[in-house]
Amino acid sequence: MSNIQQTLSIIKPDAVERNLEEKIKAIFTKEGFNIVKEKKIKLDKSDAEKFYKVHETKPFYNDLCEYLSSGPILVMILEKEEAVKNNRILMGATNPKDAEEGTIRKKFGISIDKNSVHGSDSPENAKNEIDFFFQN
């Protein structure tokens, strides 16, 4: 049975800064993701804190929020069969050092914090994250 889903993807500041937006979008498109909506924005730190609220107790929370709000990001809604899971596979492991060959983080990630992309980790979070950035 088909299960077309939407998921939220972010091209993070380190990748935008290196002009990797078009390259990363081309990877999504080539892998069959439809980019349904996109917008380039710069978050305030308070927005980043809201977005990453699930991590608020982690030792890296403050750095993470500083980082996500440090420069422009490209936020996208991606659509595909099993989009949430398939995007996580295409992104690769959180730490680029552990990411599989051919994944976005392996190709472009610099470090565990500057790992180039965000992707929702469950259908429920995908919905919440899409609503966070694309109300209406």
Applying CB under 6 A, the residues found at the interface with ligand IDP are: 55, 60, 64, 94, 112-113, 115, 118, 121
Shortest spacing between CB 121 and Mg ion, in angstroms: 5
Side chain identity, residue 49: E
> What's the angle, vertex CA 32, arms to CA 122 and CA 111, rounded to 5?
60
DSSP 39: E
CB 77 within 8 A of CB 85: no
Shortest spacing between CB 2 and ligand IDP, in angstroms: 26
Shortest spacing between CB 6 and Mg ion, in angstroms: 17
CB 78 within 8 A of CB 65: no
Question: Which option in ligand IDP, Mg ion, none does residue 40 bind, with CB closer than 5 to 8 A by kind?
Answer: none
The single residue of 5, 118, 119, 126 carrying the catalytic annotation is 118
- What is the distance between the alpha carbons of residues 9 and 39, in angstroms, rounded to a whole number? 11
Is 55 an active-site residue?
A: no
Q: Which residues form the interface with Mg ion (CB under 5 A)?
A: 121
